[in-house]
Amino acid sequence: MEENPFETPEPATFPPLFHGEQVEGAADPFTKACTKAALGCTSGLLVHNVTPDRLRAAIVFAPETPLAEAMSVFCACGVGFQNALGALAPPEVAVHLGWNGDIIVNGANSGRLRVAAAPRTPEGVPDWLVVGLELHLIPQSDEGGYAPDQTSLFQEGCGDISPIRLLESWSRHTLVWVNQLGNEGVQALHGEWRGLAHGVGDSIEFTHEEQSLKGTFLGVDEAFGMLIRDGDTTHLVPLTSLLERI
């Protein structure tokens, strides 16, 4: 493997309302952020870990709306990341978002977004909500072509992008979308996300509440719930189905 072009020692600087905490080694920022959120940390904590092969980060939010509505922050973080990478990457690099949190670069998976919250009742206002980011910086294997549906920033011609600068850019773009959600509602985010959605119109299989759903991915409803058409039936999978148990 060549020397990692992404390794960088510079510290991260985040916009107002966000405050960073770096973790090192094998520490998972998502788990760390969820633990701190459960203990009552303030909103805006951004835990991050940059290793030679991966960029990982997680943001703590304190929603003021029911969880089903607050889940739109997950999509705001996704659009924020797409905007951030799109601004730093060469113009030929295409970045799209999977409904389940997948980050798609030039048609292949390069990472994902994760989400957790507590309590998990869709109708109740959660005490906290955490959105995590995982991104592959270099190939996961020395053997090229072993997984053609997987990629990394290095493989897609983004070797000049500093992961710290990308992390900072993600925080700034995400803050813009989160503020817009609070001030203007979901309409603008909905329109932006639809233009970035990966796999709309494709066949899909998804397990929800122990039921396997198969059909055509039609897009999302006003709350970003996934719509799956199976013959004459349209199934709705709420965004809260993506919540992880921590």
Domain range summary for the chain, segments of one domain joined by +:
19-195, 199-242
Percent of the chain with pLDDT over 70: 93
- In this predicted structure, the answer to whether residue 51 has a pLDDT above a threshold of 80 is yes
Number of residues that make up the chain:
246
Mean pLDDT value across the chain: 93
Edge to edge, the sheet with strand 102-105 lists: 19-22, 45-50, 54-61, 128-136, 108-118, 102-105, 95-97
CATH fit for domain 199-242, picks 1.10.287.110, 3.40.190.10, 2.30.30.100, 2.102.10.10: 2.30.30.100
The 203-208 sheet, strands edge to edge: 203-208, 211-220, 226-230, 233-237
SS3 for 166? helix
What fold, for 19-195? BirA Bifunctional Protein; domain 2 (3.30.930)
In this predicted structure, what is the pLDDT of residue 7? 52
For residue 1, name the pLDDT band (cuts at 50, 70, 90).
very low
pLDDT, tens digit, for every residue of 126-150? 999 999 999 999 998 765 555 778 9
How confident is the model over 207-216, as a mean pLDDT?
Answer: 90
Share of the chain above pLDDT 90, in %: 85
The whole model's pTM is what?
A: 0.93
- In whole angstroms, give the CA distance from residue 65 to residue 223: 13
Over range 62-69, report the average pLDDT: 97
Beta bridge partners of 235: 228
Which tokens belong to 176?
A: 């813009």
Q: Is residue 210 scored above 60 in pLDDT?
A: yes
In angstroms, the CA 90 to CA 104 distance is: 15
Average pLDDT over residues 3-14: 65
pLDDT per residue as tens digits for the range 155-185: 999 989 999 999 999 999 999 999 999 999 9
Q: What pLDDT score does 211 carry?
A: 86
Out of 8-22, 49-63, 92-106, 223-237, pick the least confident.
8-22
